[in-house]
Chain A
């Protein structure tokens, strides 16, 4: 069964450094998403991406974040200058269409630790 994959599974970085989290969505899906879960808290929506542009973003998704689909398969989340509070699990998800028609399927996550 097709699945969303994410790399790396773990990332440790120093505060102020840039990180790029990578995702390969399910191949015939058109909508892509990033979510995060800070330890002990709920999963929070960051951004959605469709047709090579941001479709929606939350207030968490500020100027230090960016997303890109550099080729036909990868979807990336870049954090320009990491802060301690960016430490979290980051989940990528994809769907064939908007969720009230199609379900969002999640990847296994990247655990980001900012020191």
Chain B
């Protein structure tokens, strides 16, 4: 049962352009969403988060958009840089008192020079 879905296993973007990573969820109890970035042989690194009471959160080159009615969120990276090449995970937390994050399978972002 995939409660958090990242339907694109990989995405290739040219350096300097915008990268858009998408995530869909099915559980209406999710009220907090996070994006993590992961390099091989390292742990997930927190990037940015958004609460369900907001529809946008911005931090430097990273912006997360949340569309609650569509149960969809996206991460925009602009401009994309070579160091952004990594696997990006969408994660969600239930407002029902759960502690554990539910992760998507990840999208491998490749920034091409």
Interface residues, chain A, with chain B CB atoms under 8 Å away: 4, 6, 31, 33, 35, 41-48, 50, 55-56, 58, 91, 93, 98-100, 103-109
- Complex contact B104–A42 (CB within 8 A): yes
| Binding stretch for chain A, among B11-19, B38-46, B68-76, B77-85 | B38-46
- Complex contact A48–B46 (CB within 8 A): no
- Complex contact B100–A48 (CB within 8 A): yes
Q: Which residue of the partner chain A has the closest CB to B51?
A: A100
Interface string of B80-106 (1 = CB under 8 A from A): 000000000101010100111111111
Given the complex of chains A and B, what is the CA–CA distance between A43 and B91 in angstroms? 9
Given the complex of chains A and B, what is the CA–CA distance between A97 and B89 in angstroms? 21
5 residue pairs, one from A and one from B, having the closest CB atoms? A45-B100, A48-B99, A106-B43, A100-B32, A43-B103
- Complex contact A56–B98 (CB within 8 A): yes
- Complex contact B43–A4 (CB within 8 A): yes
- Complex contact A98–B99 (CB within 8 A): yes
Taking residues whose C-beta sits less than 8 angstroms from the other chain, chain B's interface range is: 20 to 34
Q: Does B49 count as interface, using CB distance less than 8 angstroms?
A: yes
**Which residues in A have their C-beta under 8 angstroms from that of B95?**
100
**Which residues in B have their C-beta under 8 angstroms from that of A107?**
43
For A6, A42, A93, A105, which residue has the most chain B Cβ atoms within 10 angstroms?
A42
Within 8 Å by CB of A45, from B31, B102, B106, lies: B102
**Smallest beta-carbon distance A54→chain B, Å:** 10
- Complex contact B93–A108 (CB within 8 A): no
- Complex contact A100–B93 (CB within 8 A): yes
Within 8 Å by CB of B44, from A6, A43, A55, lies: A43
8 inter-chain pairs at a CB distance below 8 angstroms, sorted by A residue, are: A31-B99, A33-B100, A43-B44, A48-B100, A58-B100, A106-B36, A106-B44, A108-B41
Given contacts A42-B106, A43-B89, A99-B93, contact A104 B101 (CB under 8 A): yes
